Amino acid sequence: MNISLRKVKVIFMMKLRMILANLSIMIGPLMALGFVFMYRKIMPSGGNAEEAQFMQSYFLQLGLLFNIMMTGIMASSMPLAEEKEKNTLRVLMTSSVKGSEFFIGSMAPVLLIMVIVNILLLPVSGVSGINIGLYILITTFSSLITLIIGGLVGLVANTQMTASLLSVPLMMVLMMIPLFSNMNEGMAKVADYLYTGGMSESIANLASKSADPISTHTVIVHFIWLIVSLVAFLYYYKRRGLDND
């Protein structure tokens, strides 16, 4: 399968400008940074170094879950559903642009924004001395899985309303369960099998300078989610294409 890098670059720049100008899409990264900054200012960080480290780690996990889930799913599914709803995607597909070129060009700017925000969340949360290489690796891996899931939602949905209805339950499950897993044993068990749960655990381990921050279980769970979501996306794409009308 031949992919034109020139066409991918054109779509990349077009989508990047569209995303940056769309407040409904940018609300994800803005909320992630804003909530972490606000919570760090108004909530006590603890009376000792250990408690302060725990709170900073929790703020970081909160911001990452907001960014990866809200930005990842909404910014990948909503624009695709909007273009299908307005029939602009159908016009594009009748030109020389291939579906693979369109998808890569559309998802790459979202991933770039997510990675930048993930890195910015470190100083905003107050977490320091973290292994930045492993941090970028696990957060980017999780971001990539979310983009594929969001792309699948965009393929299934014919309208922006449908995309929103499908996105909200996914975001709630994948975001809220890991966020409150420390408070409920049942949620903790479910979080063990969510890639977002594994990411949150890895971030907590990285923040606490654990010798083995990313467990084998977390890696396996991430690869299972990646394979399943990718297979589901490719299956639906081959059956229906980008424009399923």
pLDDT tens string 153-179:
988 888 888 888 999 999 999 999 999
Query: In the prediction, which pLDDT does 4 show?
Result: 76
Angle in degrees, CA 211, 128, 196, rounded to 5: 65
Q: Which residues does the chain have with pLDDT short of 50?
A: 245
Count other Cβ atoms within 10 Å, centred on residue 223: 13
Query: In the prediction, which pLDDT does 54 show?
Result: 83
Query: In the prediction, which pLDDT does 66 show?
Result: 93
Q: For residue 245, tell me if it sits in a domain.
A: no
Domain count, the chain: 1
CA 187 from centroid of its chain's CA atoms? 21
Domain extent, residue 141, equals 5-240
Q: For residue 220, tell me if it sits in a domain.
A: yes
Q: For residue 224, tell me if it sits in a domain.
A: yes
Instruction: Please tell me the distance from the alpha carbon of residue 195 to that of residue 84, in angstroms, as a whole number.
Output: 29
Predicted TM-score (pTM) of this structure = 0.89
DSSP of 51-72, one letter per residue? HHHHHHHHHHHHHHHHIIIIIH
Angle in degrees, CA 130, 122, 110, rounded to 5: 115
Q: For residue 68, tell me if it sits in a domain.
A: yes
Query: In the prediction, which pLDDT does 155 show?
Result: 86
Q: For residue 164, tell me if it sits in a domain.
A: yes
Query: In the prediction, which pLDDT does 245 show?
Result: 47
Instruction: Please tell me the distance from the alpha carbon of residue 176 to that of residue 184, in angstroms, as a whole number.
Output: 12
For 201, the token pair is: 């655990």
